[in-house]
Amino acid sequence: MTITFYCYPKCGTCRKAKAWLDSNEIEYKDVHIVDETPTEAQLREYIEASGLPIKKFFNTSGKKYRELGLKDELPKLSDEEKIRLLASDGMLVKRPITTDGKQVTLGFKEDEFEHTWK
């Protein structure tokens, strides 16, 4: 199983998740989420596999999210517009996204990583 780990190196949550993967000797491909932002098609797959609503994929605590006023704008957008927006800038995407192509975790919760990736 090859795991893809989309992260932002300066993100504390990403560093915690990476440390967990490393300490559990789980191999993964490290992908810089800003340099290689997931495509619209990939995001559609991740959203579907995660079972989470699209809005959960937004980094709501990020500077870019606040600058664009997305708290008020997101409810007005269609799902396709939301996905297009996410794919346009990795800083808008909640991180890390960890996936093996079938399962997806968003963010880092140790118990969720234990259940999904061990």
3-117: what fold? Glutaredoxin (3.40.30)
Residue 1 has pLDDT above 70, yes or no: no
Region 76-102: what's the mean pLDDT? 97
Q: Say what the pTM is.
A: 0.94
Among candidate residues 11, 30, 32, the one with its CA nearest the CA of residue 21: 30
7-49 pLDDT per residue, tens: 999 999 999 999 999 999 999 999 999 999 999 999 999 999 9
User: Do the beta carbons of residue 1 and residue 100 sit within 8 Å?
Assistant: yes
Token couple for 57: 């994929």
Quick one: pLDDT at residue 16? 98
How far from chain centre, in Å, is Cα 87? 11
Average pLDDT, the chain: 97
